[in-house]
Amino acid sequence: MRNLEGKVAVVTGSTSGIGLGIAHALARAGADVMLNGFGEAPAIARLRDELASEHGVRVGYDGADMSRPEQIAAMIEHATAELGRVDILVNNAGIQFTAPVHEFPVERWDAILAINLTAAFHAIRAALPQMLERNWGRIVNIASAHGLVASVHKSAYVAAKHGLVGLTKVVALETATTGVTCNAICPGWVLTPLVQKQIDDRAAREGIPVEEAKRALLAEKQPSQEFATPAQIGALAVFLCSDAAAQIRGAALPVDGGWTAQ
C-alpha cells in the first residue's frame, strides 16, 4: 500500500542499519525521502539511485553532522527546498560507547548526548512549524529498549534514550490537539553495524567466537533469542505514519523480543 504518496520524510542516520530499513519502508509506502548519514559519495549516490528506482520516489541526501545544530536546521531547509516540504521526521541517528561511569570519557558522554538526544530536539524544532501549519505531521523517534530499562556500562546511551522517550511525550502533549503525532520506537537487539561492533568487542574481550558472542548477547537480554530486523522497525514506522495511528501519541513501543517484558 502506497499510503504515504505525496509525503516527504527526513530520516537521520539512514545510510545503513535501522535508518536505511526505515527509509526503504517509507519509500515503499510512496514517500519521497531525504537521506542523512555518513558514507563515501559514490556509495551514497548508488543508494539514492537504488531507492528511487526500486520505489519510484524522489530521494535526496544531506550530510548534516547531527552534533551540529546549525547543520540540522539547514538539513530541514534543504529537504523543504529540494522535495517541497517535510511531513515525516524520523530521528534515528545514534552512536554508542561503553565504560563504567567513573571511567566514562567526558567527550564520549557529550558526543552521545549530542547525537542521540539533542539532535532530535533540534530537528523537531526545525520541522515542527511547517507540520503545524499544514496540520499534519509524523515524528518518530528511534529510542531503544535502553530508553525503558538500563544496562551496565551504558550510562550515556541509557540517559540519552530515556531522555528521548521523555522528549517524545512532551512533543506529543504539545501537539495533542493537532494533526501532528510524535511517538518513539524502542528496538532491542537489531543486527546493525553498531550492534555487530559490540558483538565483535565482546568476542575479543572474552576470547570466544563471534557466533558464540552473538548467542550470548541475545541470551542475556532478548527472550525470543532472535534479532529484530531493520525491516520490522521500518514497518512499524510506516504504521505510525498512517491514519490508523492518528491517536497513538507519546507512546514508546518496544520491538525487543520480550526484553522489557521481563
Domain containing 204: what range? 190-227
9 has a pLDDT exceeding 80: yes
Output the pLDDT for position 134.
98
Do 120 and 178 lie in one domain? The reply is yes
Q: What is the pLDDT of residues 126-139, one digit of tens each?
A: 999 999 999 999 99
CATH code of the domain covering residue 149: 3.40.50.720
- Indicate whether 30 and 67 sit together in one domain: yes
- Report the chain's mean pLDDT, rounded to a whole number: 97
Q: Do the domain assignments include residue 98?
A: yes
Whether 260 maps to a domain, the answer reads: no
- Inform me whether the pLDDT recorded for 101 exceeds 90: yes
Q: What is the per-residue pLDDT for 193?
A: 80
Residue 125 has a pLDDT of: 98
DSSP assignment string, the chain:
--TTTT-EEEETT-SSHHHHHHHHHHHHTT-EEEEE----HHHHHHHHHHHHHHHT--EEEE---TT-HHHHHHHHHHHHHHHS---EEEE-------B-GGG--HHHHHHHHIIIIIHHHHHHHHHHHHHHHHT-EEEEEE--GGGTS--TTBHHHHHHHHHHHHHHHHHHHHTTTSSEEEEEEEE--B-SHHHHHHHHHHHHHHT--HHHHHHHHHHHH-TT-S-B-HHHHHHHHHHHTSGGGTT--S-EEEESTTGGG-
Kindly state whether residues 161 and 220 are assigned to the same domain: no
In a domain, 243, yes or no: yes
Residue 194 has pLDDT above 80, yes or no: no
% of the chain at pLDDT higher than 70: 100
| 100 and 213 inside one domain | no
Domains of the chain: total:
2
pLDDT for position 198: 84
User: Lowest-confidence range among 109-118, 196-205, 233-242?
Assistant: 196-205
Q: Is residue 31 located within the same domain as residue 115?
A: yes
What digits encode the pLDDT tens for the residues 204-251? 999 999 999 999 999 999 999 999 999 999 999 999 999 999 999 999
pLDDT of residue 1: 78
Quick one: pLDDT band at residue 65, thresholds 50, 70, 90? very high
Catalytic residues: 157
